[in-house]
DNA sequence: ATCTAAGCGAGACGGTACGTCACGTCTTGGG
DNA sequence: CCCAAGACGTGACGTACCGTCTCGCTTAGAT
């Protein structure tokens, strides 16, 4: 008896809210995203926002989630190593923008256990990591990568440095950095193979 | 006209503020650190806090900076590789605590260009990275690490994954992870040396 | 766009604020009336007060205005001179209370051109003066008061001395003073009529 | 043994403080006169001010007291009635200035029992009233004013209306008003002498 | 000719209150 | 039952002044 009663929620309002939230996020950063500002600029009542998201951080994550990060999926070539290099560079180009810092801040500030947080983590941050896993598995099957590696560690070795620099800001993040990471992870630094 | 005139700032107040801020930080997290709470608990007026730090984030950074992260400096042994492994594990044990998340959040949220931010970055986050650099240079001089590596990239390969997991929380951070990182960075993942 | 939209202002809050402000005014005087104290004691948020009045002085005036000064209206007898005497004594008894000094201070300190100030002036201070004017007109029509007097000057002669003593405090204000004023204004001080 | 020891108080500082206080009083009114502003503008330390006056109101009164109200003493002519008229007009011209409102506010706000308050009251406000008393006594001795009047009431009838208008602001204060007051007080308003 | 007590400008101290902002909730009239 | 508007109680913000308290430095009478 409580299914379709009353006026349905307005899709128009929902979209206006997400759009405005995204704009404010890009203009002023996460810390300045206030529900009042979104409501005012989107021409929407505050309760309408709270009906959909429980606070400003959730709304911010939702706003970022609503925008496809990068739909341009990777072309798979005959060389998985080339594929990895290109994928890493693509990740860098996505996150080295203004949006990268916002995403990093948001990730740092979010409640780690909320449903939206998990979605955010998996779809925005860890997506690239899983793409990398696919490429590495392919590489292993072509004999380019050893089978005894600890895959999770290697993946963190590849993508960790990007977010490290994003977080700390101690060095620039460009495509050369991407190529250098891939090279270093492949080669190792030992004078001779430790195996 | 601005030399030592007027009553000097109270060292007692400064210390009480930093101490209280640190306590509140550990109890409630960065987001809950309010100037009013610090003032109230430290028995200090709000203006005294604002005279020394311009907002709650700055105070938080200062409070963390005031505590030596870990002064237990590393014993240098005959094996730089062992030294590196132990150092990485030590970094992990320092940052995998409650304080680690606070530090990460703070780093993410800080104005990147403020003086305090830079000090925080260099003394709290990048200190370990520079220790690592020393160890690697020693390793090179003993012929254990190749001389043609891109040192900055390799350092990010070692320490990036730790902060990556700290930030994203997708896998656990323990000493085994530390040993795995060092191993992987040494060995590389290529089936045979690319050189 | 500014008609009856949104939640209407709470009459309950408005009344609680005015009541509390009046109480504090009587307890501590105008100088001690703080918005925080009113908010706290009335169980009301500070913004609610500021939404209705722009500062403590305005609130204080509003609080005094909200209380009918003295509704006990004057009984009109056959003798306007008696009426005037009784009215002046009534004014004295109203203003020689604690509240009289508050009102005087408030009048002195108020912005002379604000809307509330004008209402305060007309309804609290000058009301008695206008009552006096009615009585004097009646007196003139009965031939008890000359028709060539400057009414505004005479009214100030009657009521001015009361507020003068209230303001300066150089002599006591009692009903005898009221009778003396009326007598003196009637008789004049000249040895013989100047006309 | 505790008489003249130590550095004597600086007369220069005292004067600078009073001068600055007076200026600020004229610029911004009593409510805006802050100790900090005086100290800052006079180039004086706050304790130096507090050593001489216990709060801003006292300082304000002192600043007004330090300036002679009007030293141009009245010329005594053969006609005391003329003298009174001129004296009342002089009082009006002194108090109808900006300074008049400040003085009124200050009088209203002052602690009635403090020593400085009394001096202020007697020297600034009641001085004119006493001058009036002298003139009236002279008038009586010349047979121009009846001897059975209640002198204090009559004096309040003359000077009260001026401060009444100053306080309430309901009508303008000019020399015509002064002449009208004197005329009305002399003549009375009764159709025929009540005696 | 020192010594020393008090005043000096400066400015930080613990406070109180300010007036504002945003929170998350509640209450209108209207669709 | 949702919508926009906007008021509600709450709590923290950063600022202005309060009146007091050091600082290091005169300044001048008492030693």
Per-residue pLDDT tens over the stretch C44-58:
999 999 999 999 999
Q: Is D150 on the interface with C (CB under 8 A)?
A: yes
Q: Provide the mean pLDDT of chain A.
A: 91
Which of D55, D119, D127, D157 would best serve as a mutation to test chain C binding (most C beta carbons within 10 A)? D157
> Which residues, other chains included, contact B145 with Cβ-Cβ below 8 Å and sequence gap of 6+?
A189, A190, A191, B80, B136, B139
d(CA A85, CA C72) in angstroms, rounded, equals 93
CA of D9: nearest nucleotide by C1' is E7
Cα C96 from chain centre = 11
Q: Is C61 on the interface with D (CB under 8 A)?
A: no
Q: Identify all chain A residues contacting B186, using CB atoms and an 8 Å cutoff.
A: 188-190, 194
d(CA D34, CA A48) in angstroms, rounded, equals 48
CB-neighbour burial class of residue A143 (10 A; exposed 0-12, middle 13-18, buried 19+):
exposed
Please tell me the predicted confidence (pLDDT) of residue D83.
96
> Which residue of B149, B171, B188 is in closest CB contact with A186?
B188
Please tell me the predicted confidence (pLDDT) of residue B16.
98
Nucleotides of E under 7 A from a protein CB: 4-31
Answer whether A193 sits within 8 Å of B189, measured CB to CB: no
Answer whether D190 sits within 8 Å of C187, measured CB to CB: yes
Residues of chain D with pLDDT under 70: 1-3, 70-72, 192-195
Q: What is the pTM of this model?
A: 0.89
Q: Is A28 on the interface with B (CB under 8 A)?
A: no
Give mean pLDDT, residues C94-119.
90
User: Is there a contact between B62 and B18 (Cβ–Cβ < 8 Å)?
Assistant: yes
> How close does chain C come to D20, measured CA to CA in Å?
22
Please tell me the predicted confidence (pLDDT) of residue C76.
86
Closest CA to B156 of B139, B171, B136: B136
Please tell me the predicted confidence (pLDDT) of residue C92.
96
Could you say which residues from 107 to 136 on chain B have a Cβ atom under 8 Å away from some Cβ of chain A? 107-109, 112, 121, 125-126, 129, 136
D8 touches strand E (CB under 7 A): yes
DSSP notation for A47-113:
HHHHHH-SSHHHHHHHHHHHS-S---PPPP-S-HHHHHHHHHHHHHHHHTSHHHHHHHHHHHHS-TT
Which residue is nearest to the C1' sugar atom of E27, using CA? Answer: C7
> How close does chain D come to C92, measured CA to CA in Å?
14
Please tell me the predicted confidence (pLDDT) of residue A70.
63
Q: Flag whether B touches A (3+ CB pairs, 8 A cutoff).
A: yes
Beta bridge partners of A145: B190
Answer whether A121 sits within 8 Å of B153, measured CB to CB: no
Which residue is nearest to the C1' sugar atom of F22, using CA? Answer: B7
Q: Is B100 on the interface with A (CB under 8 A)?
A: no
> Which residue of B129, B161, B189 is in closest CB contact with A145?
B189
pLDDT at position C32 over 60: yes
List per-residue pLDDT tens for chain B, 195 residues long.
Answer: 456 789 999 999 999 999 999 999 999 999 999 999 999 999 999 999 999 999 999 999 999 999 877 666 778 899 999 999 999 999 999 998 888 888 999 999 888 888 999 999 999 999 999 999 999 999 999 999 999 999 999 999 999 999 999 999 999 999 999 999 999 999 998 886 544
Helices (H) and strands (E) in chain C, counts: 10, 0
Please tell me the predicted confidence (pLDDT) of residue B70.
64
The pLDDT tens digits of the residues spanning B100-112 come to: 888 999 999 888 8
The pLDDT tens digits of the residues spanning B17-55 come to: 999 999 999 999 999 999 999 999 999 999 999 999 999
Please tell me the predicted confidence (pLDDT) of residue C70.
64
User: Is there a contact between C135 and C80 (Cβ–Cβ < 8 Å)?
Assistant: yes
CA of B36: nearest nucleotide by C1' is F12
**Is residue D190 classed as helix, strand or coil in its secondary structure?**
strand
Tokens representing residue D42 in the block: 């006079």
CA of A35: nearest nucleotide by C1' is E22
Please tell me the predicted confidence (pLDDT) of residue D58.
95
Partners of chain C (3+ Cβ pairs below 8 A): D
């Amino acid at each position: 008896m409580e299914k379709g009663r009353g006026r349905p929620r307005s899709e128009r309002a929902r979209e206006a809210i997400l759009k405005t939230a995204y704009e404010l996020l890009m203009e002023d950063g996460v810390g300045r995203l206030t529900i009042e500002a979104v409501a005012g600029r989107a021409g929407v009542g505050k309760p309408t926002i709270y009906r959909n998201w429980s606070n400003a951080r959730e709304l911010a994550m939702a706003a970022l989630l609503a925008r496809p990060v990068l739909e341009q999926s990777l072309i798979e070539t005959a060389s998985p190593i080339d594929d990895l290099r290109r994928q890493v560079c693509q990740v860098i180009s996505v996150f080295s923008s203004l949006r990268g810092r916002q995403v990093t801040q948001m990730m740092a500030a979010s409640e780690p256990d909320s449903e939206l947080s998990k979605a955010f983590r998996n779809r925005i941050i860890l997506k690239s990591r899983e793409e990398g896993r696919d490429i590495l598995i392919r590489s292993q099957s072509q004999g380019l990568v050893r089978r005894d590696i600890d895959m999770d560690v290697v993946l963190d070795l590849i993508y960790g440095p990007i977010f490290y620099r994003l977080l700390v800001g101690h060095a620039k993040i460009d495509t050369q950095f991407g190529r250098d990471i891939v090279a270093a992870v492949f080669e190792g630094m030992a004078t001779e193979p430790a195996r």
